[in-house]
Every structure is written in structure tokens, then in C-alpha cells.
Amino acid sequence: MTTGHRITIEQGTAHVRAVRDGQVLAESRRPLLLHETGLPVRYYLPPADVRTDLLTPSDTRTHCPFKGDASYWSLAGAADLVWAYSEPKSGVAEIKDHFCFYDTEVV
């Protein structure tokens, strides 16, 4: 990793959820908390806790030099609302296939 850049992941116990226009898209009591230098804490949620039936895969892909290549999903009226890493780099392997929403609230 680049000097000064750190990523740590911890198993969380907070009750978190992602809501869009009043609809609960995800709810979990077992999020992974990803702390990355210079960025807000991100909650990565297990696939079983995400309403994937409501999401549509997007063509968007992004690359992070520290985490790998992310794929995105959209909701009607909300493009690229959530992302996941299907093959994350070894240093962040725990987040594999976990979903991360831009807006996640702690309940």
C-alpha cells in the first residue's frame, strides 16, 4: 500500500440499513466496517441482508488501487446506488461480494 494509506476492516454489530424513497433496500446487524484513509467509514453488507431483487446490474465499473474492481447496481431513478467487489485484493478479502451503499444509516 502507498505510504500513509491504510484500510482496516472490522466486524460490526450496529443495526444499519439502506433506504431509498421509503423503501428498505438492505438491513443488517452484521455489517463489515471499512475504514480507509481520507474517506468516511463504509458499511459492507452481506448479500443475504440486501434486497438484490430490487437492484439492476449496471454497466459501471470502477478501479480502486487498494480494493480492486467494483461492479455497480442501480434502482429506478438512482443509478449506481450500490457497489461490490467480486474479486477484491487480498488485503481486503473479507468484503468479497458484500454490498456497499452510498447512504447507509445506523438505526
Q: Does domain 7-106 have CATH number 2.170.150.40?
A: yes
List the chain domain ranges: 7-106
Kind of pairing between the strands at 56-64 and 23-28: unpaired
Q: What average pLDDT does the segment 45-74 reach?
A: 97
Q: pLDDT value at position 84?
A: 98
Each residue's pLDDT tens digit, 82-99? 999 999 999 999 999 999
Sheet containing strand 99-101, strands side by side: 7-11, 32-36, 42-45, 99-101, 78-84, 68-75, 56-64
15, 21, 73, 90 alpha-carbon torsion, rounded to 10°: -20
Each residue's pLDDT tens digit, 1-54? 456 899 999 999 999 999 999 999 999 999 999 999 999 999 999 999 999 999
